[in-house]
Amino acid sequence: MPIKVLMPALSPTMEEGNLAKWVKQEGDKVEIGDVIAEIETDKATMEVESVEEGTLGKIVVAEGAQGVKVNELIALILEEGEDASALDNVSTDAAPAAEEAPAAPASVPAEPKSEAPVTLPDVEDEPEVPEGTPMKTQTVREALRDGMVEEMRRDDDVFLMGEEVAQYQGAYKISQGMLDEFGERRVIDTPITEHGFTGLAAGAAMAGLRPIVEFMTFNFAMQAIDHIINSSAKTLYMSGGQIHNPIVFRGPNGAAARVAAQHSQDYTAWYSQVPGLVVVHPYSAADYKGLIKSAIRSDNPVVFLENEILYGHSFDVPDVDDFIVPLGKAKIARKGKDVTIVSFGMGMQHSLNAAEELAKEGIEAEVIDLRTIRPLDTETIIRSVIKTGRCVVVEEGWPQASTSSEVAFRVMDQAFDYLDAPVARVCGKDVPMPYASNLEKLALPTVAEVIGAVKAVTYTA
């Protein structure tokens, strides 16, 4: 049987083209790789190479033909040993052999999730830390280090790398003492080369190691964001589940104090947009410790956002072996019935202080610490809003396409009927961070703003 030569698609978008020229003529010998024709696509004139060898038996579509559909028969090649009589048996008037374009799916399969509608629990949830657990007072800085150290003792595949993490003991002294305990093999000072060392760590994680990458601050991770998203977050999917990325990206994020626009951005919303990433932003020392341990053990890439101001703050931390906080679970940091305040990171401090003040006026705010922003613990938020009917979201990040916009959408979507007021929010102002002390204060959320928002949604202003 002669071999059919079909009109080729020569670009991702081509549907038809013009047959500009036959380079080979009927009767010509054709080798694999020989140019047989020139075809004009929507973008350019392209040469068509033969993928068969033989003799050009018949030209079906003549030179100069316009609008030839992709996959239409344009010529017949005779195989070795065939003569022209073989052509007689081939019908050439057939319409394009093109496959039916795949029909658009009737519906998109639903994202798998638990079907049960969120309701109020019949019983109170077990507290995360059982009553009577021994506690010790620690700073966020110490808790974070202890969490990393415990995991590095547990698993030789875990290592820490970043600028100034080893000999200098960490730009913010998070890795104090770690070089002494683990040595240069596992606590690694890098050159100032975020793009490179982040990609290197992503590669090491693909090979099965468990890197902790410290960014001196997350502002500098913008140099490396390609590897965080394209190399770490997407690889499990792009490899059909073969290559996972057990890696933690951590460091201080958001505003510190008077370091201005380039050093004061909150990236929570940025990373939380990306499927494949886990995004954590704790507030209390206990959560820093328990969550960094979970992050290191997770087989997923985790963006672990910290707050420089909080590093020095002290909290109660359970004094137990192997204290773990699960990823993906919010925490009710303060119980209340009148309004739900949802926040995370530094926003928690404003929220808890506001709740304290509001209590004096008889308004009992329930304060939810998200802790993990992706995957977002919607259930805990919705349960609370079902109870309170009102919701205020507090964050230091910019307002547009933010964590608060996402929370507000989910509350509207899943608890619309329970709302007694529109969701309100308190965000960082929609400006680059200013340097001047007074302007910086104005740019960040305040306790007064949180109180104002609560009063607005409770109609008590």
Partner 1 sequence: MAASASSAAKKAAKGASRTPVNRTIVEFDKDQELHAYREMLLIRRFEEKAGQLYGMGMIGGFCHLYIGQEAVVVGMQMASKDGDQVVTSYRDHGHMLACDMDPKGVMAELTGRKDGYSKGKGGSMHMFSREKNFFGGHGIVGAQVSIGTGLAFANQYRGNDNVSFIYMGDGASNQGQVYESFNMAKLWNLPAIYVIENNKYGMGTSVERSSSNTDLSQRGISFGIPGEQVDGMDVRAVMAAAERAIEWAREGKGPYILEMITYRYRGHSMSDPAKYRSKEEVQKMRNEHDPIEQVRQRLIDGGFASEDELKSIDKDIRAVVSNAADFAQSNPEPDESELWTDIYMPL
Binding positions for partner 1, 18-47, rule CB under 8 A: 32-33, 41, 43-47
237, 262, 312, 356: residue in contact with partner 1 (rule CB under 8 A): 237
Q: How far is the CB of 221 from partner 1 (least distance, A)?
A: 14
Number of residues interacting with partner 1: please give it, by CB under 8 A.
71
Residue 151 or 366: which CB sits closer to partner 1? 151
* R_g of the chain, CA atoms, integer Å: 31
Q: How far is the CB of 89 from partner 1 (least distance, A)?
A: 22
Could you give the CA distance from residue 434 to residue 261 in angstroms, rounded to a whole number?
Answer: 6
Q: Which residue in this structure is represented by tokens 């137990």?
A: 320
Residue 299 or 356: which CB sits closer to partner 1? 299
21, 173, 244, 455: residue in contact with partner 1 (rule CB under 8 A): 244
Span 57-76, contacts to partner 1 by CB under 8 A = 70-71
Could you give the CA distance from residue 144 to residue 66 in angstroms, rounded to a whole number?
Answer: 69
Return the structure tokens found at 131. 């009553």
Q: Which stretch binds partner 1 (CB under 8 A): 283-291, 321-329, 341-349, 389-397?
A: 321-329
Return the structure tokens found at 308. 């420089």
Q: How far is the CB of 375 from partner 1 (least distance, A)?
A: 7
Residue 195 annotated to the active site: no
Cα end-to-end span (Å), the chain: 87
Q: Which stretch binds partner 1 (CB under 8 A): 139-147, 163-171, 225-233, 379-387?
A: 225-233
Could you give the CA distance from residue 337 to residue 100 in angstroms, rounded to a whole number?
Answer: 59
Q: Which stretch binds partner 1 (CB under 8 A): 80-88, 105-113, 140-148, 315-323?
A: 105-113
Residue 214 annotated to the active site: no
Residue 39 or 363: which CB sits closer to partner 1? 39
Span 249-278, contacts to partner 1 by CB under 8 A = 275-276, 278
- Give the burial string for 231-264 (b: 16+ CB within 10 Å, else e): bbbbbbeeeeeeebbbbbbbbbbbbbeeeeeebb
Q: Is 324 in the site for partner 1 (CB under 8 A)?
A: no
Q: Is 118 in the site for partner 1 (CB under 8 A)?
A: no
From the candidates 194, 214, 308, 396, give the one annotated as an active-site residue.
194
Per-residue binding letters, 377-416, with partner 1 (x by CB under 8 A): ----------------------------------------
Contacts 24+ apart (CB under 8 A), 429-437: 429/398, 430/398, 430/399, 430/400, 432/261, 433/255, 433/259, 433/260, 433/261, 433/263, 433/264, 433/265, 434/260, 434/261, 435/258, 435/260, 435/261, 437/258
Q: Is 206 in the site for partner 1 (CB under 8 A)?
A: yes
Q: Is 207 in the site for partner 1 (CB under 8 A)?
A: yes
Q: With beta carbons less than 8 A apart as the criterion, state whether 141 and 312 touch.
A: yes
Residue type, 220: F
From the candidates 72, 142, 263, 396, give the one annotated as an active-site residue.
263
Could you give the CA distance from residue 27 to residue 58 in angstroms, rounded to a whole number?
Answer: 8
Q: With beta carbons less than 8 A apart as the criterion, state whether 459 and 453 touch.
A: no
2, 10, 175, 290: residue in contact with partner 1 (rule CB under 8 A): 10
Closest to 423 in 3D by CA, of 329, 335, 339: 339
Q: Which stretch binds partner 1 (CB under 8 A): 133-141, 164-172, 233-241, 285-293?
A: 233-241
DSSP code for 451: H
Residue 49 or 364: which CB sits closer to partner 1? 49
84, 98, 118, 359: residue in contact with partner 1 (rule CB under 8 A): 98
Cβ atoms within 10 Å of 92's Cβ, excluding its own: 13
Q: How far is the CB of 287 from partner 1 (least distance, A)?
A: 16
Residue type, 355: A
81, 114, 120, 185: residue in contact with partner 1 (rule CB under 8 A): 185
Q: Could you give the residue numbers annotated as active site?
A: 194, 263
